[in-house]
């Protein structure tokens, strides 16, 4: 809902959910909402998804925490079909689609980014199914391993979207630029800039603008 409002008052900004806990949500509803958002924004939306470590986030909507990985794999392939096919039939342990469609498919493919840690199953899932990887924590030493996972999946690592994060903290521009250079050297293609904890919203925005200007 927030992105739909912002899409109506902007023309160039691109939006991404970071992250939507996909296995906790109904697949058809997510596919429909993402398609509508892509339509009203003029294609300025990327779907960022993840699984979450918190079982309470699954109990609340009545989903099975233990099945989140397997369910999410289907939740990536099914929306892509719903976005591009008028009707979809698919039956499994987690889904039962009987000749269903969205009425208005997405105007163009919606990129799906995975927000994950660096475990082997997670990296291989992103390599097989993702359009981009939103990294988490100390990811930099694992980029080369992820790129090998891409090769194993028959995909070219060159230019594959990888997003790293920079906290624009007290180290100042020199520290921010040094981190950005390390990311770029490792193959990172996108950087998310955030303010450090403890700042007000206005102060964080000012810090992010400052960091963006020097990078």
What would the pLDDT profile of 101-111 be if each residue is shown by its tens digit?
998 888 889 99
Residue 58 included in any domain: yes
Say what the pLDDT of residue 29 is. 94
Exposure class string for 29-60: b at 16+ Cβ within 10 A, else e: ebbbbbbebbbebeebbbbbbbbbeeeebbee
Is the pTM here over 0.75, yes or no? yes
Residue 133 included in any domain: no
Residue 196 included in any domain: yes
Burial of 61 (0-12, 13-18, 19+ CB in 10 A): exposed
Residue 65 banded pLDDT, cuts 50, 70, 90 = very high
Total domain count, the chain: 2
Q: What is the DSSP letter of 204?
A: H
| Percentage with pLDDT > 70 across the chain | 100
Residue 140 included in any domain: no
pLDDT for residue 118 is more than 90: yes
User: Which of 115, 143, 177 represents a domain boundary (last residue)?
Assistant: 115
Distance, first Cα to last Cα, the chain: 31
Sign for the pseudo-dihedral over CA of 9, 10, 16, 18: negative
Q: Is the same domain home to 111 and 186?
A: no
- 45 forms beta bridges with 15
Over the stretch 122-157, which tens digit does the pLDDT of each residue have?
999 999 999 999 998 889 999 999 999 999 999 999
Map tokens 């342990």 to a residue: 93
User: Which of 97, 115, 133 represents a domain boundary (last residue)?
Assistant: 115
User: Could you tell me whether strands 190-194 and 162-167 are parallel, antiparallel, or unpaired per DSSP bridges?
Assistant: parallel
* Residues in CB range of 33: below 8 A, 6 or more apart: none
* Residues in CB range of 138: below 8 A, 6 or more apart: 118
Is residue 187 classed as helix, strand or coil in its secondary structure?
coil
Residue 66 included in any domain: yes
Residue 88 included in any domain: yes
Structural domain of 215: 165-215
Q: Is the same domain home to 83 and 169?
A: no
Q: Is the same domain home to 15 and 109?
A: yes
> Does residue 112 contact residue 49 with C-beta atoms inside 8 Å?
yes
User: Which of 115, 147, 181 represents a domain boundary (last residue)?
Assistant: 115
Residue 104 or 35, more confident: 35
Residue 86 included in any domain: yes
pLDDT for residue 214 is more than 90: no
User: Tell me, what CATH number does 35's domain have?
Assistant: 3.20.20.30
Q: Is the same domain home to 10 and 103?
A: yes
Q: Is the same domain home to 19 and 98?
A: yes
């Amino acid at each position: 809902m927030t992105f739909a409002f912002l899409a109506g008052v902007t023309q160039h900004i691109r939006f991404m959910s970071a992250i939507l806990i996909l296995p906790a949500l109904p697949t058809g509803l997510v596919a429909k909402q993402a398609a509508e958002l892509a339509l009203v924004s003029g294609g300025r939306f990327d779907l960022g998804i993840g699984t979450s470590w918190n079982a309470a986030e699954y109990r609340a909507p009545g989903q099975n925490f233990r099945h989140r990985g397997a369910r999410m794999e289907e939740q990536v392939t099914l929306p892509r079909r719903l976005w591009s096919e008028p009707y979809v039939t698919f039956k499994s342990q987690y889904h039962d689609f009987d000749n269903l469609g969205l009425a208005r498919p997405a105007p163009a493919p919606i990129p799906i980014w995975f927000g994950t840690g660096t475990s082997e199953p997670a990296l291989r899932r992103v390599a097989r199914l993702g359009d981009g990887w939103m990294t988490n924590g100390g990811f930099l030493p694992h980029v080369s391993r992820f790129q090998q996972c891409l090769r194993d999946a028959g995909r070219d690592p060159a230019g594959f979207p990888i997003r790293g994060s920079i906290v624009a903290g007290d180290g100042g521009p020199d520290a921010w630029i040094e981190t950005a250079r390390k990311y770029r050297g490792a193959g990172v293609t996108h950087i998310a800039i955030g303010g450090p904890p403890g700042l007000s919203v206005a102060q964080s925005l000012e810090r992010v603008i400052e960091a963006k200007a020097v990078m």
